A = this chain, B = another copy of it.
């Protein structure tokens, strides 16, 4: 009987991993540096050294369903990390098969946004749902989509890049992709900062505590701090961000008609300041058959645990 899964979340700087039970309790966790390892072999050795004793302490590999991995540019179909811009290991890295060999366990790998969605379905507020979408509002905008109980991967494994969908044609330029007016350019921490800089310039006569913050120190957190104090421009920034996000969500709903949309990540700390305008704009842009049906909620997973949980959830699928 498999009582446990390993969850591994590979980020550019740090890799976090933990032992997770079927209810989403993390029994033990640890971390190692990622890019400090020049080679993927060195990375795997370090990981094995730290993780093996953790596995042994709860009964050894026979007590495990397997290892789930969330990694930038992770491809579920191949188990490879493919041309990640955030990792030092270039080209195509067959990480799943390398881990499988080292740990002698089943390994499943996908990108971090898909893993986050799997976590919501297994342990979070999309528990048991077959159709839902997870949107991560962090430095960028990530997304994981479930349709009919399965992660949407597309014919090549790269589906679910909703942060790159266009919501303001001809709008703000995304420096990474060179595409204008995408969701990520507005509804991310970076986007909120940009909006703040633009609005301060656009409304020079409106008083705002944001003007006291040096431009290079202006962050979405500071916009939030000002907004809760009733700062007009800060409030308007969240109103605008929610408006765009809501329009984008309406488009997603009309694609896959999900039961719920789960929002996750730094921007959700703004609470109702972001949720209310988002909900309002989403509903206003849905055609009749979809109105007042979709649950729009914040993730209830602890942000510190969510990445490990999500990765581990890949193993309980099917």
- Interface residues in chain A, defined as those with a beta carbon under 8 Å from any beta carbon in chain B: 129-131, 145, 147-148, 150, 152-162, 164-169, 177, 179, 247, 250-252, 254-259, 284-285, 287-290, 293
How distant is the Cα of A289 from the Cα of B154 in the complex, in angstroms?
12
Please judge, given known A-B contacts A147-B147, A168-B169, A251-B251, whether A256 and B152 are in contact too, CB under 8 Å.
yes
How distant is the Cα of A168 from the Cα of B230 in the complex, in angstroms?
32
**B289 in contact with A161 (CB, 8 Å):** yes
How distant is the Cα of A129 from the Cα of B156 in the complex, in angstroms?
12
Please judge, given known A-B contacts A250-B166, A255-B255, whether A287 and B131 are in contact too, CB under 8 Å.
no
Please judge, given known A-B contacts A169-B247, A179-B285, A255-B255, whether A152 and B147 are in contact too, CB under 8 Å.
yes
**A287 in contact with B179 (CB, 8 Å):** yes
**A177 in contact with B287 (CB, 8 Å):** yes
Please judge, given known A-B contacts A148-B150, A160-B255, A179-B285, whether A155 and B130 are in contact too, CB under 8 Å.
yes
Please judge, given known A-B contacts A177-B288, A285-B166, whether A131 and B160 are in contact too, CB under 8 Å.
no
**B287 in contact with A256 (CB, 8 Å):** no
List of B residues within 8 angstroms of A177 by Cβ: 287-288
Please judge, given known A-B contacts A164-B287, A166-B251, A255-B145, whether A131 and B158 are in contact too, CB under 8 Å.
no
List of B residues within 8 angstroms of A131 by Cβ: 154-155, 159
This protein's copies in its complex: 2
**A165 in contact with B251 (CB, 8 Å):** yes
List of B residues within 8 angstroms of A169 by Cβ: 167-168, 247
How distant is the Cα of A179 from the Cα of B254 in the complex, in angstroms?
13
How distant is the Cα of A290 from the Cα of B157 in the complex, in angstroms?
11
Nearest CB on B from A177, distance (A): 5
Closest 10 CB pairs of A and B: A154-B257, A159-B257, A155-B259, A131-B155, A165-B251, A161-B254, A177-B287, A164-B287, A158-B289, A159-B256
**B147 in contact with A258 (CB, 8 Å):** no
Nearest CB on B from A35, distance (A): 21
| 6 extra A-B contacts, CB within 8 A, seeds A159-B256, A161-B255, A166-B247 | A147-B152, A153-B257, A156-B293, A157-B257, A159-B257, A166-B251
* 18 A/B residue pairs, CB under 8 Å, sorted by A: A131-B154, A145-B255, A145-B256, A147-B147, A147-B148, A147-B152, A158-B289, A158-B290, A160-B255, A160-B257, A161-B287, A161-B289, A164-B254, A165-B254, A165-B255, A166-B250, A177-B287, A179-B284
Nearest CB on B from A181, distance (A): 9
How distant is the Cα of A165 from the Cα of B256 in the complex, in angstroms?
12
How distant is the Cα of A255 from the Cα of B167 in the complex, in angstroms?
13
How distant is the Cα of A58 from the Cα of B123 in the complex, in angstroms?
54
List of B residues within 8 angstroms of A179 by Cβ: 284-285, 287
List of B residues within 8 angstroms of A254 by Cβ: 161-162, 164-165
Please judge, given known A-B contacts A164-B287, A287-B164, A289-B161, whether A154 and B256 are in contact too, CB under 8 Å.
yes
Nearest CB on B from A267, distance (A): 20
List of B residues within 8 angstroms of A130 by Cβ: 155
